[in-house]
Structure 1
Amino acid sequence: MHATHTLRLIWGQLGAALLLALCSFAAHAASDCFEQAGAYQGVNPTVLRAIVWFESKGDANAVHRNADGSVDIGQAQINSIHFSTLARYGVPRHALTDACVNVFVAAWLLKQKMVRHGNTWRAIGAYHSETPAQRDSYARSIQRVLVSWGELQPR
């Protein structure tokens, strides 16, 4: 009986250690995705992290149904308006729940806004909406996240 209890304890500890190692690996891999996506698209990975934090607190499985009938998917809340374009590039809707795919798509979308608006808060706000009031409100929200992380000085 004592040997069985000891064996269970050892396996329990090994299982906990393995789980911790896998979680650390997954967190590191996800962190690398921000750096890789940012470098690939020429956007700031810290801004990508702030967008993800604001949108879903990093929940890769987040789904939000909007009042207009559209759907936002994944940690960066990629809107369904982009699904047909993404499908043409070989990115199906279900792939957006992969944290790394979602971040790469977010970086691509943000880069499109930067091409249009420059490397500005307007571009960051336009990630959410081109409507000026919503765009500017979103940009301020991302600024607040960055300030709270110590990445920006408060205005």
Structure 2
Amino acid sequence: MFNIESELLYAIAQQESAMKPGAIGHNRDGSTDLGLMQINSFHMKRLKKMGISEKQLLQDPCISVIVGASILSDMMKIYGYSWEAVGAYNAGTSPKRSDIRKRYAKKIWENYRKLKGMSAEEKNKRLSIASNK
């Protein structure tokens, strides 16, 4: 749908929620991150217009991944298919947050690299465990 590797989305979910679909994160700026992909409440106005609720983000990991992929795709329209775009998924696009983007992207790269080195059997086992959480 968004032409983003599943391993990259998985690596982001690992970092964002430790693969916990019902995860809720509270940020210093007062916003909240919801679900497997930790979708920031900043996006809720747009998502509600599309019929997606906070409850769905917390209870349906597939919706969380689709929304996360959509947000990452938006960042890729700005930065290209790059680690800068991956960093912007978490840190946004402000030039002042460049270092935060780089640190976040490095964490995702480490998760991604490990996933790419796994056998198909290992990946399926991890996905099975994650879907049962």
Q: TM-score range by the shorter chain?
A: 0.7 to 0.9
Q: Given the alignment of the two structures, is residue 99 of structure 1 paired with residue 99 of structure 2, yes or no?
A: no
Indicate the residue corresponding to 2:108 in structure 1.
142
Q: Given the alignment of the two structures, is residue 112 of structure 1 paired with residue 102 of structure 2, yes or no?
A: no
Deviations 1:103-132 (A, max 9, x none): 000010000001111001100110001221
Letter in 1 for 2:74: Q
Q: Which has the higher contact order (CA 8 A, sep 6+)?
A: 2
Q: TM-score, normalised by structure 1?
A: 0.69
Shift of 1:147: 2.3
Q: SS at the partner of 2:90?
A: coil
Shift of 1:79: 0.4
Indicate the residue corresponding to 1:126 in structure 2.
88
Q: Counterparts in 2 of 1:1-155, with a 5 A limit?
A: 40-97=1-58, 98-129=60-91, 130=93, 131-151=97-117
d(CA) in 2 for partners of 1:105, 1:70: 17
Aligned length: 113
d(CA) in 1 for partners of 2:51, 2:10: 24
Runs of 4+ with >2 A deviation? 147-151
d(CA) in 2 for partners of 1:147, 1:45: 13
Letter in 2 for 1:88: K
d(CA) in 1 for partners of 2:47, 2:22: 18
Deviations 1:73-105 (A, max 9, x none): 001100000010111111111110111100000
d(CA) in 2 for partners of 1:118, 1:49: 19
Q: Report the RMSD for the aligned CA atoms in angstroms.
A: 1.4
Q: SS at the partner of 1:119?
A: coil
> Are the equivalent residues in 1 in contact too, given 2:75–2:85 (CA < 8 A)?
yes
Unaligned 5+ residue runs, structure 2? 118-133
Q: TM-score, normalised by structure 2?
A: 0.80
Shift of 1:148: 2.8
Indicate the residue corresponding to 1:14 in structure 2.
none
d(CA) in 1 for partners of 2:114, 2:9: 15
